[in-house]
Amino acid sequence: MRAQFSLDHWRKLGWKSPFWELLRFYCSLRGGEQKEFLKECAAPKSSSSKWWDLLNLNDDAAKFIITYSSQREKLLRNALAALRTEEEAKAYCESELIDWKVTKTKNKEHHQSSKTLIATVGTIATKVCTKFGETVDSDPYRRCVWCVANHLHVTARNLDGAIPSLRDPYIVWEIKEYWGKTSGGSKMSDAVYECHLVGRELREFEEKSKRKIIHAVFLDGKDQWHSRKSDLARFIDLHNQGLIDHLFIGRTIETDWKPILTNLVKSRKVT
C-alpha cells in the first residue's frame, strides 16, 4: 500500500541530509519572508541576494526547496481534506462498535474532548496482534525501553502504544488528537517537537543497535489542525525526512492503519 503523505524521492535523501536543515530554516521564516525566500531561490544569485551567502546555497539546494515546497503543498491539501470532525470520529467508532473515553476537565465550560482516536488505533492494533498471536500495549502512556547488545535507550517522553510491549518494541506510536472548538495553540507546535525528538532519537539508536523500530504517528481534529496548517505541514516534513515511518491523518486511519500494521506484524512473525 502506498503511503498517502509520502514523497518517495525526498524520503530517499535520508534523515541526515542537509536539505532538511535548510527546509527547517525556511519553515522558521514568517509571512512574506517565505515568499521572499522562494523568489530569491528561483532567481540567479546576485549582489542583492539576502540568503545565498548566509546559508551557503547553491543552485541545486535552491531548486530543491522550490520543488519540495510545491509538492508538499499538494500533500497538505490532501491532509486537510482527510481530517475528521469529532462527530465523524465518533460515528466511525459507533459503526465499528468501538468504545471510547472522554478527557474530563475541572472547568465544565471547557470542551470535554473524546478519546476516539486513541480507542480506534488501540482497537485495530489489538485485533491485528491477536490474529497473529502477538501482544500489544495499546494505551500505556509510559516510556519505552530498549537494551540491545549493550546499547540502552529510553524514550524522552511517554508513548501511546507499543508492540509487543514497552520493553524492546519493534513498533511504537504517538497520537495527537485535538477536538477542541478553539483555534488550537502552542500545543500543536509542541506536538511537532515531541514527535521530532522521539523520531530522531529512534533513528540514532537504530544506527547503534542495528535494530529497526517503526515509528508511527496519528493526527486528527479538523477544526484545530485547520487553524495550525504550518504545524500540520511540519508533520509531513518529518515523515518524508524519515523521522516518522508511517503518518496517518484523519480518514486514512480508518482505511490504512489495519493493512499496514497487518503487513508489519505478519512480516515480523514470519521472520
Do 167 and 35 reside in the same domain of the chain? no
Rounded CA gap, 109 and 180, in Å?
Answer: 12
Contact (Cβ atoms closer than 8 angstroms) between residue 45 and residue 34: no
pLDDT tens digit sequence for 223-251: 999 999 999 999 999 999 999 999 999 99
pLDDT(172) > 80: yes
Do 49 and 140 reside in the same domain of the chain? no
Domain membership of residue 2 (yes or no) is no
Do 155 and 105 reside in the same domain of the chain? yes
Percent of the chain residues topping a pLDDT of 90: 71
CATH number at residue 90: 3.40.1350
pLDDT(34) > 60: yes
Residues in the chain: 271
Domain membership of residue 1 (yes or no) is no
Domain membership of residue 238 (yes or no) is yes
3-class DSSP state for residue 259?
A: helix
Do 197 and 135 reside in the same domain of the chain? yes
pLDDT tens digit sequence for 197-214: 999 999 999 999 999 999
Phi, psi (5° rounding) for residue 110? -75, 150
Share the mean pLDDT of the chain.
Answer: 91
Domain membership of residue 3 (yes or no) is no
Do 101 and 139 reside in the same domain of the chain? yes
pTM of the model: 0.92
Predicted local distance difference test score (pLDDT) of residue 1:
56
User: Range of 224's domain?
Assistant: 86-270
The 10 Å Cβ neighbour count of residue 2 is 6
Residue that finishes a domain, picked among 30, 53, 82: 82
Strand partners, 102: 114
What is the average per-residue pLDDT within 165-184?
Answer: 90
Predicted local distance difference test score (pLDDT) of residue 2:
61
**Domains contained in the chain, number:** 2
pLDDT band of residue 38 (cuts 50, 70, 90) is confident
pLDDT(59) > 80: no
Do 139 and 240 reside in the same domain of the chain? yes
Do 165 and 252 reside in the same domain of the chain? yes
Predicted local distance difference test score (pLDDT) of residue 105:
56
Maximum CA extent, the chain? 65
Do 68 and 117 reside in the same domain of the chain? no
pLDDT(150) > 80: yes
Do 145 and 113 reside in the same domain of the chain? yes
Do 102 and 188 reside in the same domain of the chain? yes
Predicted local distance difference test score (pLDDT) of residue 49:
78
Domain membership of residue 27 (yes or no) is yes
pLDDT tens digit sequence for 70-121: 999 999 999 999 999 999 999 999 999 999 888 655 555 555 678 999 999 9
Domain membership of residue 35 (yes or no) is yes
Rounded CA gap, 102 and 63, in Å?
Answer: 47
Residue that finishes a domain, picked among 29, 48, 82: 82
Do 74 and 111 reside in the same domain of the chain? no
Residue that finishes a domain, picked among 82, 114, 139: 82
Do 200 and 132 reside in the same domain of the chain? yes
Task: Name the one residue in this structure whose C-alpha cell is 509531513.
Answer: 236
Predicted local distance difference test score (pLDDT) of residue 61:
80
Predicted local distance difference test score (pLDDT) of residue 104:
57
Predicted local distance difference test score (pLDDT) of residue 261:
98
